Structure 1
Amino acid sequence: MDYLLWLCSLVVPVVLAVEETLMDSRWATTELAWTTFPESGWEEVSGYDDSMSPIRTYQVCNVRQPNQNNWLRTDFIPRKGVLRVYVELKFSVRDCASIPNIPGSCKETFNLFYYESDGDTATDTSPQWRENPYVKVDTIAPDESFSLLEAGRINTKVRSFGPLSKAGFYLAFQDLGACMSLISVRVFFKKCSTTIANFAVFPETATGAEATSLVIAPGACVTNAMEVSVPLKLYCNGDGEWMVPVGSCTCMAGFEPSSDSTQCQACIPGTFKSKFGSASCVLCPANSRTSARGSSVCPCQNGFYRADSDPPESACTTIPSAPRNVISSVNETSLSLEWEEPDDTGGRSDLVYNVPCTRCDDNVDIAPRRLGLRQRKVVVRNLQAHTRYSFEVQAVNGVSGKNPTSPRYSTVNITTNQAAPSAVPTVHLMRSTADTLSLSWLPPEKPNGVILDYEIKYHERGQAMSHTVTSQHSSAKVEGLRAATPYVVQVRARTVAGYGRYSNPMDFSTSLDSDPQKSVQDQLPLIVGSASAGLVVIVALVVIAIVCLKKQRSSSELEYTEKLQQYISPGVKVYIDPFTYEDPNDAVHEFAKEIDISCVKIEEVIGAGEFGEVCRGRLKQAGRREMVVAIKTLKAGYTERQRRDFLAEASIMGQFDHPNVIRLEGVLTRSCPVLIITEFMENGALDSFLRLNDGRFTMTQLVGMLRGIAAGMKYLSDMNYVHRDLAARNILVNSNLVCKVSDFGLSRFLDDTSADPTYTSSLGGKIPIRWTAPEAIAFRKFTSASDVWSYGIVMWEVVSYGERPYWDMSNQDVMTAVEQDYRLPPPMDCPMVLHQLMLECWMKERNLRPKFSRIVNTLDKLLRNAASLKVVTSTYSGDLLRLGGTLPGHNRKSPESSQEIVRQQMSQTLPIRV
């Protein structure tokens, strides 16, 4: 969980990629002497590069001889442990059209190969001069060629290949009949340079085997820094740039960040820093000083102290002076002490007072207490009569224990007088009549002399006027009272020192009649009856409360049920747009489950999304088995709009439940960062997965993938929901090749109350041109029919194993071609029925496109009748893209010249309407 807590504050360093050269033919000062086959092919000559510096080059121009197969192989190139290398080629090619009287075998391209080896073992005949064992990198075509009347135009191409596993490799160039010059060859690899991020040093790191690889580089804290989040690592991407920092260091106590935030420098004398972190050093507090560098605390000056609980940032303080003007007042065996606060509190606010006493035994009571007084007054009771006592009134604060002379105090000496008797214990009622109360009591526990008499004070309950009588004994009869009236009675004793304290008030009542024996026992039946009646009332109240609570719950449940009926039509679940909520955050809590942060464990960063990083992790919830999940994070510094849009996708996913739609596990909206948890799809995005597995699946398997995507889209369409961004990149694949629709960032709800349900996007909204229907591009009108158009593009992507739709054509050229009714040709080995279904999805009139339900049924029939998938579309000689036509000689992996041919044929041929 340390990763989650520090992710919000981590900084990614901006460092340019570094290239390191393994071989550069421009460095050669003598002949290169590379191996050629046959001898009549490539020829080494002296030439000039684009800056007119002399270099050694190779050229070949056997265009008048058919069936050319000329090979050129470099010397052995050690790979130095790198996994992926880049080759920069500078070359010129003559335009075949400028060479008169040549056969049709003239080429304007050549092939680049490589061959791995654990040593420099190649000979003139080994390895054999053919594609296998050489590995083809690419067919290289020039951007510009030249004729006899023009100077040679130098082309520069960069290609990469990997992963490499052996000690080194050779490069080989195959000419099949071109007139060209290979001016220079540079072999290099990319790496991330040494950098410092979050006060951690990360070493120079070579890029990974693939352009999309992320290579982990471990880090170490800079000097005088400490780890606060581990492990320390950065990711080096395929472009040689650092990204996705994990873990962090920070400056230790006594050290502050340098101005460029790359080092931790010591605090100068007179300053300090008490805690680790990114804060700067500050001046020493009052009454402290330091002359050392790198101080984490400033020691106090003589006579000043810090309490144990004081932080190092607090000023040093001293002990208070003695309390002033202590006043004592003796009342027989009681004492009252009052005083004023000291002139000097020591600079602290935690001043308290102690009142210790000499010769006080355990019976002496000091109220409210002896130690730690906030108020400046105490009362001392239960002192012995005619006894001398000494009291100290001490002023102490938080540093008084640091000074051996502390505390400072004022002394009070007093002598007590004769004490009055203590209070009479509880008074008892012996008997009562209609006009008398017979009472008795015990003498005081401390009479403090001879009891002269007792005073009995009584009054009617609720009346202020009281009466008194005296008695020489510990009993008395109070007469002249009113019948059936409650009275409050108190008793106190008197000695020569005066009266003691009254007993606690007691309530007694006179009788209704003159029965002298009426007592508490006579009232027992009445008491029992009253208690029973009270119990019945309590039970009744409980029953009423339960009934009311049930009614309230029933009302709440009815209200909730009625609310659901607003969202659910009979037999159909309807999608609710979270943006229709007054507060879209309410939609998150209604449709998505809130997960406790303790249940989530992030293990690895696997990519980056629009709002932040995407990670793989584990989810362990009570009562469920631990599962691998994908975790989307909201990057630090987000705006409230970004947070709303980020969580809106969770509000959308939370409403879906289909095996071909990505499943939402829950959200974490109370953590930092905010997280969205979904099921984990092992094979990632469909387009990259297909490119990595080019040609490895049967056509039945590919159709099965398409069927799953169509089923997921049928489910969404049935919920009156439009996706708007359906593409292979937004389809995820699990380990069982199950495809699931994902990425609902552009999706919107369709209002099916209108005759033509559409979604009109806001002006300026991003639209994926190559996947979007013409009416959606032109008028921003999105429907399930526009999703069907996008599905047709996805079909083309799947059958072509992830090829880019419309290849290298610009977005403007794509829109122009589609508007003139040109359509993508069938991919290589595409069954005729599949391409026909694609063309139906691309009907210009959206009402003529098939529904997703019919697409699912069609694909089901194809899977049941696999023979229909064996009828492959033929190669058309007509226009490219028009009615499914294809480019003569078109190869799915060689689209470089397709854009120019499209332009030529569009200018020569009238479009045929679909």
Structure 2
Amino acid sequence: MDFFTGVRPLLFSYVLINGILITLQTKEEVLLDMKATGGELGWLTWPLDQGDKSGWEVTQRTLNGSQFYTYSVCNVGEREQDNWLRTTFIQRRPSASRVFVELQFIVRDCNSFDGTSLTCKETFNLFTSESDADVGTTFRKGQFKKVATIAPDEITSKNELRINTETRVVENLSRKGFYLAFQDIGACVALLSTRVYYKTCLATVKSLASFPETVAGGENQALREVSGACVVNAVSEELPRIYCTVDGEWVVPVGQCQCNLGYEEVKDACQECQPGFFKAAASGDKCELCPANTQRLDSGALFCPCLDGFYRAPTDPPSGPCSGLPSAPRDLVATTTQLSTGKLHLSWSPPEDTGGRTDITYSVECQRCEGNVCQLCGEKVRYEPASTGLTDNKVSVSELDAHLNYTFTVEAHSGVSLFASQATPRSNRPPSTSALTTSLHYTEPPRITTMRLVERTSTSLSLSWDVSPRIRLQPRPIRYELTYRKKDDNLDVTTYIVLLLEKNVVQISDLAPGTAYLFRVQALGSDGSPGGSSIEEQFETSPEGRLTQNNTAVIFGAAVVGAAMLFVVILVLFLRRRKRNSHSRQGPEDTYFSSSEQLKPLKTYVDPHTYEDPNIAVLKFATEIHPSHITKQKVIGAGEFGEVYRGNLKMPGRKEVAVAIKTLKPGYTEKQRQDFLSEASIMGQFSHQNIIRLEGVVTKFKHAMIVTEYMENGALDRYLKDHDGEFPSFQLVGMMHGIAAGMKYLSDMSYVHRDLAARNILVNNNLECKVSDFGLSRVLEDDPEGTYTTSGGKIPIRWTAPEAIAYRKFTSASDVWSFGIVMWEVMAFGERPYWDMSNHEVMKAINEAFRLPAPMDCPSTVYQLMLQCWLQDRSKRPRFGDIVNLLDKLLRSPDSLKIIADFDPRVSIRLPSTSGSDGSPFRSVSEWLESIKMSQYSENFTCAGVVTMDHVLQMKNEDIKNIGVRLPGHLKRIAYSILGLKDQTSTLSVFAV
């Protein structure tokens, strides 16, 4: 039967032009291209002699003046078909252990043939066979291994031809070449194109290191390590390395090269610094512009020397600017103190030009002159705080003698002042040793020595006083400042009276009879500066006479002022007490809920099971989608109710998005339909970036569907297993933070998940984790404990809190316990919690206070949080809000993740001595590797001659690296496993303890 009978050939040609002839060769090395051969293919068909039967047949066709060949077979009406088509010998590049087979083919719809429903097939099989040489026409089916069953996505009918393209991977090739074979078992198939290729990582330059073109690795070597070399004028502390992925992509460069001194990175090369620029060290930095006051050299400069008259201090970096010498200080001023004798204050302004420096200090030098003879003041004069190394522009000088001339010299210094002797002063700038000199004649201020009463009446007192005898030498008259007050006045409202006098006598009138007064007098120097004070003296008026009107007014005024001040004091005390009482009434809960976010009304979850008609809940919380807006593409899994597809959703007025489509399998009951759609009623109430987003539902048509956002990386546990050891702790903690944020959102809505596990966390392309699968979830009842009591049903024991197992009591605290298990799964890269222990063993161990040990390389702070989540008393477990805050702090302080928790390989890997889980010894290395999920390295161990368990026990870390185990996580897993093998203590005995 001819394959193309009844099929329009023009359509076939059109598809060939648009589907076959346009191919991309990016990072692909082609070993076989059936379409590009152009001549006889020489492929072998088997059986060689079929009598009247026809097997695979070659057909020559012409398109756009070029000839190409196709193979087809169409024995759909005959039983027990076994027709083989084998390619010619395909030689393999030694390092290409993984090749891709791209097929373009057409399969006829069995319904287009009459009476063939029992014999017609719509699939065919792909096989491969390795060989070190071309075997010619020799053909034995037993030499071939099946690669895949090829099924079409599009079936060709009588009137419309549809071309399928499928790509399959052939792994672990090790011989010089191989054959491909196609087995027909009763289909109507046309093979239009077969292309065999392998992927390479193209020669590249990464981080200034060049790497050669490299063939991508296979399943047993997902990342192929490649060594490189630094480009010209670049250096590296360690040999540059990079990894080539199976998809021909370069990832994880190690050992970054850096441009040498005087060179900078420009377009994957190291180029000399331009004139006027420099670079003083081998680094990834750019060349820097020569700093201020330096010479600009030619290209490739390592540093910029200082211009004449400018210097670098010994502590300055060679790459820093150069500085000049500071100019002299300005405006030196000397003042005497108010109460002391023989003490001066010197102050000055900073230099106008600091030379471009900030480390300016000052020194003060003192000279005393008697007549025409001057000499240094010596140690008698004291300076506060010091005479040298001053950073402030002032100093106090004491122990000076009266009636002598003193000269003070202030100098400015900087870090480059030591070069002053080598400097040549320029006319427009003084050197750093320039100083400001001020001369002054210091005279000791006058001092009051004695105060006495001359005369008194009932309303007046006459006083006089003596001064220091040296006051008579003063060329100008001295003034006095007299202060007095009543002795019995309230200190808070005391009235002082101050008089300035030209003589050392005074009469004070209008005083109160029989009243004591306190007097103090102070002499003022010739320059108006205050001198020494007398002690405070008491004198009393005579008791005769009576109060005058003026005295009464003064006392009345004082009383009014005192009353006003008392009122102010009482008012302040009242306000303070009121504020303190308001604080005492605000408890910890007030403080906790004081933020604006906490004060917002909280949205509460509504249980869809409370609706009498569950369909109403679906309509209320979920958007109805018409099936025409949904396109299914590929099955990606199977749920409790049916298959899960990847597809697209194109709503009117919105951009097309990728979605996951849950379907309800045929033959469902109404209860199954309601249970299926109840998950949508739950999801539709949530809106958070770490909760899986519901796009909508299909309920008004025969096939019910739930449409959610599509998470490209699937379930978290499987994703972590596939990338074991590839993520640092910081990134893993980031994943936990997202999960915790989602759970905080749920608990804030009074909602319990009940099935929180890594398998129910989905991961997108940005490694963002989102909580999903709300099949077991229930709302918290409005009771004091906030629990939900179930009446049966399955419980995921390994993830469930002990009180939930024992009493079927589920709370947010039991979700926190489950979150601790999820944290352990994340840090263990998808390891099964409690390993191969039975559920009964798990419950027994938990009740005996056993807790999961820390995974490998788990930060101590993260493991401590796990243990807090697993506290037996649920009231002491942290809340999700606390967990989010702690993880947020860890992410803001990455150094807190550097301390690693203790790791016990006997418990964590569960390898009792050299035996398997049943206690019997491992029979082979491959069996041992399989037990720790490292079977992909079996060939590495065999090639290295490690073929017995005794050989394994003798291995060290360096030996493991040398056989090709490069991923840090895999290296540690195997190393810790060997450590556990060497320890004769059984893991089960550890649990028993």
**What TM-score do you get using the length of structure 1 for normalisation?**
0.46
Greater relative CO (CA pairs within 8 A, separation 6+):
1
**What TM-score do you get using the length of structure 2 for normalisation?**
0.43
